[in-house]
Amino acid sequence: MTAPETPDKLFIMQTRRAFLSTAGLLPLAAPRPARAAAAAGTVRAVVAADGSGDFQTIQRAIDHVLDRAPRAGAGAILDIRPGVYRERVKIPQDKRSVTLAGQDAASTVISYSMSAADAGGTFFSPVTEVNCGYFEARNISFENTFGVGSQAVAISVHSDRAVFRNCRFLGWQDTLYAAWGRHYYHGCYIAGHVDFIFGDAAAVFDQCEIHSRGSGYIAAHSRTTPAEPTGFVFRDCELTGAAGLLQPAPPKPGGAETPFPSKDSGKGVFLGRPWRSCARVVFLNCRMGAHIRPEGWDNWNNAANEKTAWFGELGSRGPGGDPAARVPWARALTRSAAAAFAPELFLKGRDRWNPVLE
């Protein structure tokens, strides 16, 4: 991942302020209802690519499902039937409590090919873009099939209290842009090559498989000050890949993924590097394959980042999990320090959110 272009400064200030307010660092402008309360006025609809549902495309459902809402501010649950939805999807900020519910992630796929070069920049390349709060997806695959040669985002998430369960994120470079807000990913599969999980969200990846398709970097966090309550936490995850040539597995029946060219991962994979100076990334009780480099962490060609980046581990195991081989500026966490990164604490905020219970 090259240093991505900077979005409009006003947008950054607005979105960062919204997140910090919910996280407890700024006064809340107004209380927000819990997800359960928002569900009281929820509208449901079926999306089916074969035309057997209420809508044939996901985007059309998002645009029009709330036309029938009983009241302003109602939420929506879209039941996505198996199929390959070859479209780009954008969920705008004025929607709320939107849920995309599939039956099986391997056969329920949102798929498109779009590179940063063709789109005009990394931030314009996402196949799926989530801008609303209280977003949830389960049993869905999000993929960008562009392949190698450019940043190509499968999904960008500008959302507070976003939850993904049993989802798949498939790409190569910059697969998952966890931009801002609090996110919880449980039982997901995330595949990529370079900086394929990046952004400035406070995100917990719980019992996920993180699959490296070639040599590169897993996480690129972008926290800019130590006061920000953000970071990426990988908890009880499986880091998979190969020490030699890496060839993606064939897609399961019904999947849309196009196999990428094999890449030499013999140089190995770093756990992360600081996209911005105060990046924070933590791995807790994760099993790491032999593709993980012994030193673990990279300073993005800037020794000054070694004084400000916050990279830590506890309980790493497997061929790539030797703590004694890590760079000296990484942190070996104690159990008491690691306890602060439990999802019910790290994502709590002033509204006491606990995604584990939802």
Is 174 labeled as catalytic in the residue annotation? Answer: yes
DSSP category for residue 291: T
Instruction: For tokens 């090559």, name the residue.
Output: 193
Measure the CA–CA gap between 183 and 83, rounded to whole angstroms.
Answer: 26
Q: How many CB atoms are located within 10 Å of the residue 348 CB?
A: 18
Torsion from C-alpha of 84, 87, 88, 93, nearest 10 degrees: -80
Q: Is 54 a catalytic residue?
A: no
**Residue 196 to residue 177: CA distance in whole angstroms:** 8
Q: Residue 122: name the closest of 6, 10, 280 by CA.
A: 6
Could you say which of 50, 94, 174, 264 is catalytic?
174
Indicate the SS3 state at residue 319.
coil
Given the residues 50, 118, 195, 200, the one annotated as active site: 195
Q: Which residues contact 305 (CB under 8 A, 6 or more apart)?
A: 274, 277, 279, 299
Instruction: Give just the sign of the alpha carbon dihedral 263, 114, 170, 52.
Output: negative
C-alpha atoms less than 13 angstroms from C-alpha of 34 in its C-beta half-sphere: 11
Longest dimension (CA), the chain: 59
DSSP type of residue 260: P
In this structure, are residues 82 and 102 in contact, taking their beta carbons and an 8 Å threshold? yes
What is the C-alpha end-to-end distance of the chain, expressed in Å? 34
Closest CA to 1 of 260, 193, 225: 193
Hey, which residues are catalytic here? 174, 195
